[in-house]
Structure 1
Amino acid sequence: MTHKIGMRIPPKLGALGMENLADWAKSAGIDVIDVPYYNEEVKGILEGAGLEVGSIDGVGAVGMTNLLSEDEAQRGEAVDALKQQLSSISQLGGKTVFICLAPKDVTLSRDKSFGIWKETFPDIVKHAEKEGVYFALEGWPGPAPHYPTIGCTPEMLRAMFEVIPSNHFGLNYDPSHLVRLGIDYLRFLTEFGEKVNYCHGKDTEILTDDLYEVGILPATFGTKYGFSEGSWRYTIPGHGAVEWEKVAIRLDGIGYQGPISIELEDHRYWGTLEKEQQGIIKAKENLEKIFK
């Protein structure tokens, strides 16, 4: 099965403005753009450039979110804002909402966050079902040393899907996070494949010498590379540990039909517009060998 190649928007490319970004992405052979927000203007620009919208960041649901606040008023405001966004996205024809669930209080334990989530998210997902949109939950574990994000391990995901079995609450499959956490990224697809609503093209290199120095802990005296904690670093697809051919076979096996969307987090292709463009193009070329 062939898949369209998409991209999240890195900062220097984003600074071009949506029209210039869309023109460049189309010329570079990108098919799909993941956007931080979605409105009539963005929809028109993407359609005018012959591009599709991919995932849309959930307002208040990416990074450190009040959706997991212990303050009931803050949590209620965040829930209302997200529901309103789901309705707006649906009216514009959007389908996939990208979320990452880490509390703003990063010291809050994952089990406490899970308890808050269990009370609030079933109603949110019911609203998503009504509006015909799908959540794609990101497995980024969150910042060291607390790693507070819920939904980044099989243990937690099983508990979450027991509470909300709906396919409208699904996963963004990003093997880079699984590799750095020591989780079998292929077995993960075997167990949770039917929940995959979106897929990121990002990789992780395990730095074996640094793994000897610090183990799985973050480096005490700083890291050698950007997008790293010491014993690993994020890379573009094809430059890390992920065997993308095997990922492709398993994605075909579960019937995944969405794009493979490049998330550029690689220190070699960061810091300037030219480096970001080079990184996106190289990542696209590597993914096309397998998914096109």
Structure 2
Amino acid sequence: MAFQIGMRIPPKLGALGMEKLADWAKSAGIDVIDVPYYNEEVKNALENAGLAVGSIDGVGAVGLTNLLNADEAVRGEAVDALKNQISEISQVGGKTIFICLGPTDVTQSRSKSFDIWKETFPEIVKHAEEAGVYFALEGWPGPAPYYPTIGCTPEMLRAMFEAIPSNHFGLNYDPSHLVRLGIDYLRFLTEFGEKVNYCHGKDTEILTDELYNVGILPATFGAKYGFSEGSWRYTIPGHGAVEWEKVAVRLDKLGYNGPISIELEDHRYWGTLEKEQQGIIKAKENLERIFK
């Protein structure tokens, strides 16, 4: 099966504006764009360039979110905002919302966040079901040293999917996070593959010398590379530990029909427009040899 290749928008490319960005992405061979918000203007810009929308960032649900706030009133405002967004993007044809679930209070335990999520999210997912919208939960563990995000390990995901078994609450499969956490990214697809609603094309290189120096802990005196904490660094697909050929086989077997969307987090391709363009093109070339 041939997969479309997509991309999240890095900052310098995003500064071009949606129309210029879309034109460049089309010329570079990209099929799908992930967007921070979705409305008629964004939809028209993508369609005019011959592109499709991919995932849409959930308002208040990317990074650290008030959806898990211990204050019920604050949490309620975040719930209402997300439900409103679900309705709005559904009206313009959006289907997939990208979310991370880390609390704004990073010292809050994951078990407490889970208890709050368990109370908060059933009504959100029910609303998504009625609107025909799907969540793709990102497995980023959150910032050191607390790593407060829920949904980044099999232990937590089993509990979450037991609480909300709906396919409208699913996963963004990003093997880069699994590699850095020491979780078998292929076994993960065996267990949770049917929950995959979206897929990121991002890789992780294990830095063996730094692993010797600091182990799995964040480096005390700062990481040597960007997009790193010490013994690993995020990189474009094909430059890390992920065997993308095996990922492709499993996604094909599972019947996944979404894109493989490049998330550019690699210090070699960062900081200027030209570097971001180079990184997207190189990642696209590496992925399309396997997925096209």
TMscore range, shorter length: over 0.9
Number of the residue aligned with 1:61: 61
Unmatched 5+ stretches in structure 2? none
Q: Matches of 1:117 and 1:110 in 2, distance apart?
A: 10
State the Cα distance separating 1:94 from its structure 2 match.
0.6
Number of the residue aligned with 2:29: 29
Q: Matches of 2:94 and 2:59 in 1, distance apart?
A: 14
Secondary structure of the 1:146 match is coil
Secondary structure of the 2:189 match is helix
* Amino acid in the other structure paired with 1:203: D
Secondary structure of the 1:119 match is helix
Number of the residue aligned with 2:162: 162
Number of the residue aligned with 1:269: 269
Q: Matches of 1:228 and 1:51 in 2, distance apart?
A: 32
Secondary structure of the 2:155 match is helix
Number of the residue aligned with 1:185: 185
How far does the alpha carbon of each residue in 1:157-208 deviate from its partner, in whole angstroms, 9 at most, with x for none? Answer: 0000000000000000000000000000000000000000000000000000
**1:1-292 equivalent positions in 2, closer than 5 A:** 1-292=1-292
- Aligned residue pair count: 292
* Amino acid in the other structure paired with 1:130: E
Q: Matches of 2:94 and 2:272 in 1, distance apart?
A: 31
How far does the alpha carbon of each residue in 1:192-251 deviate from its partner, in whole angstroms, 9 at most, with x for none? Answer: 000000000000000000000000000000111000000000000000000000000000
Q: TM-score, normalised by structure 2?
A: 1.00
Secondary structure of the 1:37 match is coil
Q: Matches of 1:94 and 1:39 in 2, distance apart?
A: 9
Q: Which runs of 4+ in 1 moved over 3 A?
A: none
Q: Matches of 2:29 and 2:180 in 1, distance apart?
A: 30
Secondary structure of the 1:137 match is strand
Secondary structure of the 2:26 match is helix
Unmatched 5+ stretches in structure 1? none
Q: Matches of 2:288 and 2:119 in 1, distance apart?
A: 42
State the Cα distance separating 1:266 from its structure 2 match.
0.1
Q: Matches of 2:240 and 2:267 in 1, distance apart?
A: 13
* Amino acid in the other structure paired with 1:61: A
* Amino acid in the other structure paired with 1:107: T
Q: TM-score, normalised by structure 1?
A: 1.00
Q: Matches of 2:223 and 2:134 in 1, distance apart?
A: 37
Q: Matches of 1:176 and 1:63 in 2, distance apart?
A: 16
How far does the alpha carbon of each residue in 1:12-54 deviate from its partner, in whole angstroms, 9 at most, with x for none? Answer: 0000011110000000000000000001100000000000000
CA RMSD after TM alignment: 0.3
Q: Matches of 2:35 and 2:93 in 1, distance apart?
A: 14
How far does the alpha carbon of each residue in 1:60-114 deviate from its partner, in whole angstroms, 9 at most, with x for none? Answer: 0101100000010110000000000000111001100000000000000000000
* Amino acid in the other structure paired with 2:258: G
Secondary structure of the 1:170 match is strand
* Amino acid in the other structure paired with 2:169: F
Secondary structure of the 1:198 match is strand
Secondary structure of the 1:188 match is helix
State the Cα distance separating 1:253 from its structure 2 match.
1.0
Secondary structure of the 2:33 match is strand
- What percent identity do the matched residue pairs reach? 88
